[in-house]
Amino acid sequence: MAREQPSWLGGTDQARLRPLARIRDFIDGVVNSSPARVALLVFFLVVIVFTALLSLPLASASGEFTPLHDALFTAVSAVCVVGLTVVSTAAYWSFFGQLIILIGIFVGGLGTLTLASVLALMVSKRLGVRGKLLAQSALNNASRLGEVGTLLRIVITTSVVVEVALAVALIPRFIILGEPFWQAVWHGIFYSISAFNNAGFTPHTDGLVPYETDLWILVPLMIGVFVGSLGFPAILIILQFKHHISRWSLHTKLTVNVSLILLVVGTLLWGAMEWSNSSTIGGLSFGDKVIHAVFASVMTRSGGFNLIDQGQMEPTTMLLTDALMFAGGGSASTAGGIKVTTLAIMFLAILAEARGDSDVRVYGRTIPQGAMRVAISVIFMGATLVLVGTGLILWISGEELNRVLFEVISAFATCGLSTNLSAELDPEGKYVLSALMFAGRLGTITLASALALRQRSTLYHYPEERPIIG
């Protein structure tokens, strides 16, 4: 049988199409595999691409190559929608560099599983059963398999619509404040995408400090961060049923209610702790103090924007901020942390145990045991990552514990608030924080998805025996 010639030697069309078919089959096979594997692979590749782009001389204002540790840190921070920086976003990066960061924020905000599902649709023009399960996992099981493709488009459309609305609200204010038209447009778009995706990057050298009492700017940012922190599953349900709360899913009710509780409690506690601190808000008027307290409460759970120097806060306020950052936002959202539903499930389990109830019940529903196991696993994994990361940074930097713990939790919870420790660290410390940001954005989602899809039934049970607890 005659051997088929390669395409460059005049081979057949089938030979020319074979490499493309192999690539398509490979991508299709990867996308239709486990969510954990897809999330890891997609995010890793995206980070590598953005690191390479930010390393280019074109990306820096000076026209020089950016060191690997700084480019990698910034790429991870953008793609993982964190907001921690080691160089000034406004001063160090050129317009091209800022544009790459903004694209990274938008791509990262959609999430790994959503991105992988869209990749499958683009490459193979279809989603297999595993691919639909993957997308369904990204949407927190908020849809039936037949609706997944439509909902993926709705997710992207919703993101764009919200970000455009925020930009339209912000651009006129920047123009009124004296910025040139196109600069105001750029700043409005940048802040809108950064806010909705809970990224915390700012295109101004002084950040938001010059606008610390400007409600025209602060209110849209707070709305964008809060809406983005709810998560796409909750947003879709709210858009579908609006004010008919009785028809909301359990996930949506828990997410909205716990988010509001944390917002109110955070505002009251943060304001009380910083009320007389002359280094932060002590010298401001009553109204301005309230604005700062509300803004801080919204941003500490993942937004990352700040109006004060975080290093000047009271130690108790830093501890409160640590707790709010660790809690984070809603599942399948642009926020980080262990997620508010995880926190709610554990609180309800403790309450049920205290009452002696055999079931964990809320809003007329029973929480399955499997959900509680996942919640425990997510909390334990998060605490372990924070512990290990804190130990490494303490060893590398020799800084105080409260400052290191603040930076580590901010990295893991993809919040972005900082005492400027990130910029002061040696390259080794920046690599550790980069790994924490990557794990924080990827880890809890991946673990929850992996555990949810790897449940198996057994044909036998060992005899029960209760150990002494407590």
Mean pLDDT: which of 106-120, 324-338, 394-408, 429-443 is highest?
Answer: 394-408
Q: Is the pLDDT score of 215 beyond 90?
A: yes
Round to whole Å and give the CA distance between 224 and 192.
7
Q: How many domains does the chain have?
A: 1
Confidence of residue 50 (pLDDT cuts 50, 70, 90): very high
Residue 64 has pLDDT above 60, yes or no: yes
Please report the pLDDT score of residue 18 as a whole number.
65
- The predicted pLDDT at position 145 comes to 40
Q: By percentage, how much of the chain surpasses pLDDT 90?
A: 55
Within-domain flag for 15: no
Instruction: Establish if 5 belongs to a structural domain.
Output: no
| Whole-number Å distance between alpha carbons of 175 and 178 | 5
Given a cut of 60, is residue 419 above it in pLDDT? yes
Strand partners, 60: 93
Q: Are 273 and 314 in contact (CB under 8 A)?
A: yes
Whole-number pLDDT of residue 114: 58
- Give the whole-angstrom CA distance, residue 397 versus residue 403: 11
pLDDT for residue 431: 96
Model confidence at 127: pLDDT above 50:
no
Residue 258 has pLDDT above 60, yes or no: yes
The structure tokens listed for 282 are: 């002590």
pLDDT for res 121: 47
- Residue 242: pLDDT above 60? yes
What pLDDT shows up at residue 449?
A: 55
Reference 162, options 233, 227, 255, 81; nearest CA is 227
Task: Read off the tokens for 278.
Answer: 């002359």
Q: Are 166 and 196 in contact (CB under 8 A)?
A: yes
In the prediction, which pLDDT does 332 show?
Answer: 75
Instruction: Please name which of 94, 47, 105 lies closest in space to residue 66, comparing C-alpha atoms.
Output: 94
Compute, in degrees rounded to 10, the torsion defined by CA atoms 423, 267, 235, 368.
Answer: 100
Q: What are phi and psi of 334, to 5 degrees?
A: -85, -5
Average pLDDT in the 186-205 region? 93
Q: Does 464 reside within a domain?
A: no
Domain membership flag for residue 463: no
User: Between these two residues, 144 and 161, which has the higher pLDDT value?
Assistant: 161
- Mean residue pLDDT across the chain: 83
DSSP, collapsed to helix, strand or coil, labels residue 453 as helix
Model confidence, pTM: 0.85
Q: How many CA atoms lie within 13 A of 51 on its CB side?
A: 17
Residue 467 falls inside a structural domain: no
When pLDDT is averaged across residues 273-298 and rounded to a whole number, the result is 93
Asked if the model's pLDDT at residue 398 lies above 70, the reply is yes
Look at 136-145, 196-205, 278-287 and tell me which has the smallest mean pLDDT: 136-145
Q: What is the pLDDT of residue 386?
A: 95
**357-370 average pLDDT score:** 88
What mean pLDDT do residues 221-250 have? 88
Q: Which domain holds residue 89?
A: 23-452
pLDDT at position 32: 52
Give the pLDDT mean for 129-149. Answer: 47
- Note the pLDDT of residue 455: 52
Distances (CA, A) of 24 to 38, 119, 152, 265, 402: 15, 11, 21, 50, 49
Domain membership flag for residue 267:
yes
Task: Return the pLDDT at 445.
Answer: 54
159 within domain boundaries: yes
Half-sphere exposure of 446 (CA within 13 A, CB side): 18
Would you say residue 12 lies in a domain?
Answer: no
Average pLDDT rounded to a whole number, residues 254-283: 94
